[in-house]
Amino acid sequence: MAKLTDSLSSALAELEDDKVRELVEEHLEAGMAPLVIVQKLQEGMQEVGVRFETGDYFLSELIMCGEAMSSAMRILEPHLRGEHSEYKGNIVIGTVRGDVHDLGKNIVVMLLKGDGYNVIGINPDVPVFVIEQTIYDTNMKPVGWGKSIYRGDRYKMTAYDGWHNQEETGGDFIWKTN
């Protein structure tokens, strides 16, 4: 286990949900940039991942960390939105049916909003056609999938096959896996 020198990173790694929220509020009040706070939270999450890999933490601790991170990100979201006034474009992001994990997606959504993107978020575990329709309606190019939990793979491949065979989208399809 790494020695975390930051109190916020340590609180998240120790799964201290109330302390995480308290420290996020304190850091914001002290004028710390929201993205710096996110970096500290990411360090804590990385430590939780290490503890999981070494068998010190189990799935329940990962879930607890995810909930603490989500709470912190809800506090940070209004501050991240104001980080950039320049509009950079639209992004559709969703989680297909069979994949109910959306913590990483939610963090990415908030970071993208903070960086000036208009993010159209789609709830987790939705049929592929909902995401496809949103992409076509908003004329998104390119299209990509991130893979986090295997249960959604067959639906992602269905979506990939559909887009790969339709030239009218005009965009590239990016297939990314963890």
Q: Which amino acid is at 167?
A: E
- Model confidence over 19-40: pLDDT tens digits? 999 999 999 999 999 888 988 9
Q: Are 65 and 16 in contact (CB under 8 A)?
A: no
- Model confidence over 91-102: pLDDT tens digits? 777 776 665 566
- Model confidence over 95-141: pLDDT tens digits? 766 655 666 677 777 677 766 777 777 777 777 777 778 877 877 76
- Cα–Cα distance, 19 to 87 (Å, whole number): 34
Quick one: what percent of the chain has pLDDT higher than 90? 22
54: phi then psi, degrees, rounded to nearest 5: -90, 0
Closest CA to 176 of 150, 131, 145, 154: 145
Map out the domains of the chain with their CATH numbers.
1-83 (1.10.1240.10), 86-178 (3.40.50.280)
- Cα–Cα distance, 147 to 177 (Å, whole number): 5
